[in-house]
Structure 1
Amino acid sequence: MLTSDESLNNLKSYRQHIPNRRKRQYVYLGCIGLVIAFTLAYFSILSVSKSSKLVQEPTVNRTQLSSSPKINLLDPSSYLNGPPTQAFRDNLRPDAKYITSWISAGWTNDVMTYINLIYLALITDRIPIIPMFTPSHIGGDKPTIDFGEVFDVQRLAEGVGIPILEWHQVKNRSSDVLDDLGCWNTWEAVQDHEAFPRRSVVPNYLKLDISYTKTPSWIKVIPHYEHDRHAYFWALASLAFPEGRQENLKPPLESPTHHTLLPPDEQVLCYDYLYYVCALQPFEFEFDYSPAWRYVGQHLRWTERLETIADEYVRTAVGALDSPTAPPYIGIHVRHGDFKNWCGDVPVQDCFASIPIIARRVEDIKTELRESRGITVEHVIVTSDERDDSWWEQVADQGWYKIDHTGTAERYGAWHPVLIDAVIQSNGVGFVGTDRSTMSIIARRRVQSWRNGVVRTVKWGRVGADDH
């Protein structure tokens, strides 16, 4: 314990040091002030310099690409050696890198697969080469159809800001050359029921003999979970770069015909299947943040030809052929068909949503359009795979319209009934879809992104499923 004299001496000593402390504080503050002043001056000069440089040397971004008529991202001469060749490698530029993949599902799922492929091209700085669509949903005896016959590839390329190639631009359709190619096998890494890469007929159409290398298991979103098969975009993207590729090479499988053993190709990056891919969580096309939809899918617009045909079908259905364009309408997509297999022990009539339940969602949309946008919509158009005439009679009783596809396949081709329906679903100011249907999911996204439309999804599977 200090005495009173010791305390007093300490207090005097402290007071004697106060001026020196204050001097040091002033010096510190002065130094700090100078540092701040010099920093502000530096960044001010830097900002002016950057602004001046931007004026003198404008950079090209995606917005500029989408609005500039001078930039033709579809000019193959910039990304290929020339016209399609017998062997695809002969047409690849040595200074370019590419990416491709195959489809192996129904048509809408295949569209989503190609969207994922193009998004992966964006994040790996590669040029996507898109194959054709195969007739998995309309019968194997039907012809394939080119990606560019369905979608406006020029508009897509300008929207995403990278070139988009199709395989028929790279390799001659009539070629008899069987090309060797090394690819990544994702399928075995995300599921345990099939001990081989995802099977697809696309390599047969393209005459490719593929040697697959299995990807590491860490690409899977939910490890050791058998009920989901998704991989992460960036996990797959890491395999596109030299270090990630080299660190994960394993002995490849023999190609089926030439029995070659090839590691994944470095110039033409390829994966067996890209439907089950996500950024954050499985099946994220259902969510508005989906990067694959935001950066790619919303730019995937129909060809002008398909738009014109679909518009005529709508005007015919609603009795407005004399009008120059179709009137505003609400689209409905009701998926039944094979969905009855998911009903289990629930009778189909209790499993699927009834017409009155769907009508309730239509009224929701009409009310929202009227109250929030001042739009009154009278026309409702139904598309469905339902074949029960009595069900369609209920549709007619609601005053709703059906698209008549009598003669569509004969007039336009076997692909067009489903293509026309998809265009019609996307062009309404409102849309009612079927829960768990990918066709409904994509139609809903299109109506929201393209039309700023109002959408609803009808739940099903049991009585009262849509009561909310």
Structure 2
Amino acid sequence: MFRANQSPANGRKSSLRTICVTLVGVSLLSFGALILQPLSHLDKQDAPTYSPTFSSPSYVQGPPTQRFRDNLRNDTKYITSWTSSGWTNDVITYGNLIYLALITERIPIIPKFLSSHIDKSEPPFPFGEVIDVPRLSQAIGIPLLEWHEVKDSESQVLDDLGCWSVWETVRKNKGDPYPRGSPTLSRLKLDISWTRTPDWIKLTPPGIEDDHASFWSLATLGFPEARSNNLQSTNHPSPQHQVSLPPDDQVLCFDYLYYVGAHHTWEWELDYSPAWRFVGQHMRWTASIERLADAHARRAMKVPVDEPTPPYISIHIRHGDFGDQCHDIPLDQCFASLSVIARRVSEAQEDLRTRKGIEVTQVIMTSDESDPEWWSKVRALGWTWVDYATERTEEIYGKWYPVFIDAVIQSNGAGFVGTRGSTMSVLASRRVQSWHDGPTRIVKWGSPGADDH
């Protein structure tokens, strides 16, 4: 029972309690209002920020050095690899590298992205300027290093390093029995002595011609027993210094990690994919890239300044070099028509309507198609796209940015429609499913009626 006449002290305590309860109530109401907003309506500037769980300098000796080994800690083991197959494939390659780092308990050292798919004269782009490294590190529970944190990017010192060649093994029956090179090696001033991985690293049985290696087979080479038992494999002296080195124990390195799976080939397309589940889905964009893509998307949709970004369906239609796979079939019969794509868009819209109660009318197209007539038909459907020429995106930001902005716009769709066989569509589909619980559809093509269903 409360007393009718409280002491001054008790009165102050009661007032304090009242104030606290009021503040908590206001906070809960504000939080509730926030979480009830659709994710696509949130201001990108309000995205959570992450402080590094692991400080990169603590896993090297200090600032980048002229020789990479001078900056490595004696009590730490590392893992690295390189890329050479286009940005989206390189994202998958680094996802595989980081997953290997998890299962071998090593720290990944990640090189910059190469610009081979846009303009080879464009400088490589740092991994951490497009992928939110602190957030990724916190999500997966290990630190990540980038090569420019380890070795001075301006260093002219040529470092010797012994590495494993996966490519030589998986390609030995295809007339291509050599390690897979990368322009990154010369940029990092690395002189590699390659040792061929044993045949048992292949994911598929010997009779099946395929380029995939097994995650856990490769992982065993990062441990003393398997490493020492396979040092007699074919070794290639380094091209510059002509030294033959065994695969390095402290820096486990492989020539190419794009074709790697745990159980099946092309595993990033499958829902159980461990590299996607444990790494890929945590490779979120940096806040600056998010904001830039959101601004481009808003202008494409003509969203007033004082209104939130509406939910939209994102589309990725790849034509370009896919035409080479059409052979004798005319392109207009080989590629899916816009009416077929529109049917897939309608399916995604209906899914959002029935499952989430969201009416999504905005549709943003991303494509490498260059035919103006095709784009006019896109406009006739009521869809839009980012006009990078009008935006002067390359001129202002650089040639990398249209690729990045397309990927972010694709990933932030409330639903997504993509192209069968395109890794850009695969990753966009995975991101929309994982990040936004959105419906996705992949359009089949290659012959008339390929996507009939």
Q: If the length of structure 1 is used for normalisation, what is the TM-score?
A: 0.84
Give the match for residue 411 of structure 1.
Answer: 396
Q: Work out the CA distance in 2 between the residues paired with 1:344 and 1:69.
A: 49
Give the match for residue 376 of structure 2.
Answer: 393
- Confirm or deny: 8 A CA contact 1:184 1:213 kept in the other structure: yes
Query: Greater shift after overlay, 328-337 or 246-255?
Result: 246-255
Give the match for residue 244 of structure 1.
Answer: 226
Give the match for residue 197 of structure 2.
Answer: 215
Give the superposed CA RMSD: 1.4
Q: Work out the CA distance in 1 between the residues paired with 2:204 and 2:362.
A: 44
- 1:459 alignment partner, one of 428, 438, 444: 444
1:293-344 CA deviation, whole Å, 9 max, x = no partner?
Answer: 0000000000100000000001100110414542100000000000000111
Give the match for residue 97 of structure 2.
Answer: 117
Cα–Cα, structure 1 residues 324 and 183, in superposed 2: closer, same or farther, change >3 Å? Answer: farther
- 2:432 alignment partner, one of 421, 439, 447: 447
Displacement of 1:269: 0.3
Task: Give structure 2 stretches of 5+ with no counterpart.
Answer: 1-47
1:128-166 CA deviation, whole Å, 9 max, x = no partner?
Answer: 000000111011111111001111000010011000000
Equivalent position SS for 2:285: coil
- 1:73 alignment partner, one of 44, 50, 53: 53
Give the match for residue 433 of structure 1.
Answer: 418
Equivalent position SS for 2:388: coil
- 2:240 alignment partner, one of 241, 246, 257: 257
Q: Work out the CA distance in 2 between the residues paired with 1:137 and 1:326.
A: 30
Give the match for residue 160 of structure 1.
Answer: 140
- 1:299 alignment partner, one of 254, 271, 282: 282
Give the match for residue 327 of structure 2.
Answer: 344
Q: Work out the CA distance in 1 between the residues paired with 2:85 and 2:345.
A: 30
1:361 aligns with 2:341: no
Cα–Cα, structure 1 residues 242 and 317, in superposed 2: closer, same or farther, change >3 Å? Answer: same
Spell out the pairing of 1:107-186 with structure 2 (5 A cutoff). Answer: 107-186=87-166
Displacement of 1:433: 0.3
1:375 aligns with 2:358: yes
Spell out the pairing of 1:80-119 with structure 2 (5 A cutoff). Answer: 80-119=60-99
For residue 397 of structure 2, what is the amino acid of its counterpart?
Y
Give the match for residue 7 of structure 2.
Answer: none
1:269 aligns with 2:252: yes
Give the match for residue 59 of structure 1.
Answer: none
For residue 76 of structure 2, what is the amino acid of its counterpart?
A
For residue 400 of structure 2, what is the amino acid of its counterpart?
W
Higher relative contact order (CA 8 A, sep 6+): 2
Q: Work out the CA distance in 1 between the residues paired with 2:189 and 2:307.
A: 46
For residue 72 of structure 2, what is the amino acid of its counterpart?
L
For residue 113 of structure 2, what is the amino acid of its counterpart?
F
Aligned residues: 401
- Confirm or deny: 8 A CA contact 2:56 2:144 kept in the other structure: no
For residue 108 of structure 1, what is the amino acid of its counterpart?
T
- Confirm or deny: 8 A CA contact 1:98 1:269 kept in the other structure: yes
Give the match for residue 42 of structure 1.
Answer: none
- 2:317 alignment partner, one of 324, 327, 334: 334
Question: What is the percentage of aligned positions where both structures have the same residue?
Answer: 58
Q: Work out the CA distance in 1 between the residues paired with 2:158 and 2:257.
A: 23
Displacement of 1:224: 3.6
- 1:187 alignment partner, one of 151, 164, 167: 167
Q: Work out the CA distance in 2 between the residues paired with 1:454 and 1:70.
A: 28
Cα–Cα, structure 1 residues 409 and 70, in superposed 2: closer, same or farther, change >3 Å? Answer: closer
Equivalent position SS for 2:236: coil
For residue 313 of structure 1, what is the amino acid of its counterpart?
H
- Confirm or deny: 8 A CA contact 2:137 2:144 kept in the other structure: yes
Query: Greater shift after overlay, 315-324 or 441-450?
Result: 315-324
For residue 189 of structure 1, what is the amino acid of its counterpart?
T
Equivalent position SS for 1:401: coil
Give the match for residue 18 of structure 2.
Answer: none
1:230 aligns with 2:215: no
Q: Work out the CA distance in 2 between the residues paired with 1:114 and 1:324.
A: 37
Task: Give structure 1 stretches of 5+ with no counterpart.
Answer: 1-67
Displacement of 1:193: 2.5
Q: Work out the CA distance in 2 between the residues paired with 1:290 and 1:317.
A: 34
1:371-406 CA deviation, whole Å, 9 max, x = no partner?
Answer: 111000010000000000010011001000011101
Displacement of 1:430: 0.2
- Confirm or deny: 8 A CA contact 1:76 1:82 kept in the other structure: no
Displacement of 1:221: 1.6
Q: Work out the CA distance in 2 between the residues paired with 1:102 and 1:393.
A: 40
Equivalent position SS for 1:99: strand
- Confirm or deny: 8 A CA contact 2:51 2:134 kept in the other structure: no
